[in-house]
Amino acid sequence: MKKIFWFLPLISVFVACGGNQETPVNADSETPSIDSTAYYDSLFAERKMQIDTFFSAKQKRGEFNGNVLFAENGHLIHKGSYGFTTPDTTSEPLNLSQRFQLASVSKPFTATAVLLLYDRGQLKLEDTLGTFFPGFPFPGITVKMLLCHRGGLGNYNYFTDEFWSDKHQPIPNDTVLAILMREKPKTYYKPNEQFDYSNTGYFLLGSIVEKVSGKSFSDFMHDEIFEPLGMKNTCIYDPCRGKKVENGLQGYDWKGRLIEDHYQNGVVGDKGMYSTVEDLFLFDQAIYAGKILKPETWKMAFTGQNPEREEEGKDNYGLGWRIKTSFAGYQVIYHTGWWKGFRSYFIRNTTKKQSIFITDNIKRNRFLSIEELLDLADGGTFGSAALSDSLQVEGGKGK
């Protein structure tokens, strides 16, 4: 089975305007190298082959087009590129330096920015939105409620369609906030009544970062998170400020049609981040090293805040992260994202210190199963269908 794994010179694409808790290790510890030693190459050889077979098969069937990276204890198991920059197989093969839109995988990063300001004493989690936006018409909603999706606000993805007339121009956070305050769209729930996944809450968190820091959201993320961690291929797409995404890919629908830039791409905080699987690995390892946030703040971020979800057997949500209720007795912290053809996965089995990062820019497939991916990272230990699924290609030979 042929695997597509190329490294090409960088290209530039301008995206046009329009319970258990993880304890990070000592903050002074070194970030592990992404390069495997000969020992780890040997140790992970079988899993590397299984992962490669799995994604090669999916790419061949037209079910996957993207980049992957699997690691354990800071050491690389496998990384690779599968597919092409566009649905046209005569286009350039993907490489690991190309930036994908992370969609809602941006949310853990937004939460980290807010919690960094909290650690510095520049805001409190109990602060209500009126603290930052005088006259905010929905009382009682706190920063913490936004972080764990308990604010109850209506979805800006819907109400901006009614109140933003020029869909060819990107709409910025400030304008969405102005619409929210002026039009007072109907809320879904009372504050803290229940979990309700909210893009509105996270765009507001992005705006709070701007209000408190005095910087644009994109500049704050670059200065305080991306640059200090060496995430050189990561940025916030900010079309309202004329920012380009160097080496950025575009998204395609299930029929392989280009999805044009959308006016809501001007909104940041809930989405808008472009990155690579290698940069996501750097962020993951920084968490283990206790960087950016205080250890007790990371613990809080990874603690479920929605007990009713666990009672219902659903995955919980902490402060910016999803938490699997049960997976073979392990703690799994993760987030997924989808937006305009892009899909992304940031998965951490913190008990075994296994990490999975996946980016995809063609919406031709169902979502990858988190459980299958965890199983794949562990070599099929948990007995899911992930490996058998890939081995059925090429008459069951798994080539």
**229 touches 282 (CB < 8 A):** yes
Find the DSSP H helices in the chain: 38-43, 45-60, 107-119, 143-147, 156-163, 173-183, 199-213, 217-221, 277-288, 295-301, 307-311, 370-377, 386-391
What pLDDT does 325 receive? Answer: 77
pLDDT tens sequence across 28-52: 344 445 554 677 778 888 999 999 9
What pLDDT does 33 receive? Answer: 53
pLDDT greater than 50 at residue 296: yes
Contacts of 112 (CB under 8 A, 6+ apart): 225, 292, 293, 301, 320
**269 touches 106 (CB < 8 A):** yes
Find the DSSP H helices in 14-106: 38-43, 45-60
**149 touches 192 (CB < 8 A):** no
Backbone dihedral region of 223: left (phi > 0), alpha (psi from -120 to 50 degrees) or beta?
alpha
What pLDDT does 59 receive? Answer: 95
What pLDDT does 319 receive? Answer: 98
pLDDT tens sequence across 197-242: 999 999 999 999 999 999 999 999 999 999 999 999 999 998 888 7
* Residue 113, amino acid: A
SS3 222: helix
**206 touches 129 (CB < 8 A):** no
In eight-state DSSP terms, residue 334 is: E
pLDDT tens sequence across 304-342: 999 999 889 899 999 999 999 778 889 999 999 999 999
CATH code 3.40.710.10 for 38-391: yes
pLDDT greater than 90 at residue 20: no
Locate 323 and state its tokens.
């938490």
pLDDT tens sequence across 337-385: 999 999 999 999 999 999 999 999 999 878 899 999 999 999 887 755 4
What pLDDT does 27 receive? Answer: 36
Q: Residue range 288-292: average pLDDT? A: 96
**Given the structure tokens 């204890």, which residue do they identify?**
73
CA 103 centroid distance within chain? 6
What pLDDT does 304 receive? Answer: 96
